[in-house]
Structure 1
Amino acid sequence: MSPRELAVLLTLLAEARELTNAELLAVAGVTLDGKPRLRLNALGLVESVKVGRALVHELTERGVEWCAAEFARPRPKKSGSYGGALYAVLAGLHRHLEASEQVLTDVFVPDVAGQVLRKYAEITKGEPDQVRLSELRIRLPHIPPADLSEAVMRLADRDGVHVRAEADRKTLTDDDHAAAVVLGGTARHLLTVEAVR
């Protein structure tokens, strides 16, 4: 496995979600295209689907199994100091999983709150502006509604994050009502983040 292919597999594992090449680049500084993509697809480790103009990549069950086996492998020769450190971390995770009788999917779960904050920053261009929760739901269609609501409620506990009710209730659409989260007995429709982090 090439370092690039390994980086893609481990990134898809850690993110626990589908990623476009743009997202892979933002998260790990790597993309999956050309021969490496064809190889990982042919091996059944990654499934790649064209969505609009973007390729979306997802780790398969076989890919998760491959990663689990990689955690137990010794450090490859000529892997350098970063590779050595990576394989030391993988070995430590492997020991933890063995001792706790857990599997990789118990450890690596989607960072829904992080996805919400990244999408908020994209919509507002990093400014502390109000964004409707209904717009976030539309822009994050891969996140189940209940998971997105839970993430927004957890974010509301952070300093500088505000989840507010729309003052002019006449402007609320059916989508706004469906996307609302209830905090303190009040339906909230708007997210504001003072400092996107």
Structure 2
Amino acid sequence: MPDEQLTLTERSVLLVLMAEAREMTNADLHAVAGLKLDGKYRQRLNDLDLVDSEKVGRAYVHALTDAGTLWCAEELSSERPARSGPAGGALYVILKGLRRHLEDTGHTLSEVFRLDVGSQVEAAYAEITGGNGESVRLAVLRDRLNGVPKDDVDRALELLARREDVHVRAESDQKTLTEQDHEAAVVLGGTPRHRLLIEVPR
């Protein structure tokens, strides 16, 4: 595929999808990197089979295809595109540094760029609570995380619990616990925890 078919924005979208290692809406892309993929640009990346875009409700959800993942790996060795500007130039210097690191260590891109489960947990918590800082059942939280493996969520909760503003607590009234609550619990310090509370900044 000729590189000249892609604009710097299209290249950047591909690299952001690689780095985030997840499906992303335009709102996600904009929040993370100030980018959007729509109109003819979305159509071009879809036609080139680099990105799969599925309409969910009123928004498109974008994901790298296998070909898109391969393109990203090859882009680590590419020259800086013409008229890419200083930010684009800096990006391609970083990509070359990343390529050298991968070659030196024998690691792969999938080992470097993995889903940031902690951020996904915080985002799901914010969606459920509307940002009001109330306590949320882990069973409800896991449902919102849409199939993220339990072990990955457990590890993220363990790391989040080290923060002073995050509280992963046992249910005070154990009689109210359902089978779903027991299955969703995370064990910290030898105690099953069933609820998450993230304090709202004052």
Q: Same fold (TM over 0.5)?
A: yes
Contact 1:64–1:104 (CA under 8 A) maintained in structure 2: no
Cα distance, 1:33 vs. partner? 2.0
For the aligned residue pairs, the C-alpha RMSD in angstroms reads: 1.7
**Which of 116, 128, 133 lines up with 2:133 in the alignment?**
128
Q: Which runs of 5+ in 2 are unaligned?
A: 1-5
Contact 1:130–1:191 (CA under 8 A) maintained in structure 2: yes
Which deviates more from structure 2 when the two are superposed, residues 104-113 or residues 139-148?
139-148
Match of 1:83 in 2: 88
Q: Which runs of 5+ in 1 are unaligned?
A: none
Cα distance, 1:195 vs. partner? 5.0
Q: TM-score, normalised by structure 1?
A: 0.91
Partner SS for 1:163: strand
The yes-or-no answer on 1:2 pairing with 2:7 is yes
Contact 1:47–1:59 (CA under 8 A) maintained in structure 2: yes
Match of 1:176 in 2: 181
* CA offsets 1:87-120 (integer angstroms, 9 cap, x no match): 1111111111111122211110000011111222
Match of 2:26 in 1: 21
The yes-or-no answer on 1:166 pairing with 2:171 is yes
Partner SS for 2:61: strand
Query: AA paired with 1:119?
Result: A
**Which of 120, 123, 135 lines up with 1:115 in the alignment?**
120
Would you say how many aligned residue pairs link Structure 1 and Structure 2? 196
Match of 2:3 in 1: none
Q: TM-score, normalised by structure 2?
A: 0.89
* CA offsets 1:104-163 (integer angstroms, 9 cap, x no match): 111100000111112222333333321111121111114122211221122112232110
CA distance in 2, matches of 1:40, 1:123: 33
CA distance in 1, matches of 2:147, 2:171: 25
CA distance in 2, matches of 1:50, 1:144: 24
**Which of 196, 199, 202 lines up with 1:191 in the alignment?**
196
Identity within the alignment, %: 57
Match of 2:69 in 1: 64
Cα distance, 1:172 vs. partner? 2.1
Partner SS for 2:103: helix
CA distance in 2, matches of 1:172, 1:21: 38
Which deviates more from structure 2 when the two are superposed, residues 117-126 or residues 131-140?
117-126
Q: Which runs of 4+ in 1 moved over 4 A?
A: none
**Which of 153, 167, 180 lines up with 1:148 in the alignment?**
153
Partner SS for 2:111: helix
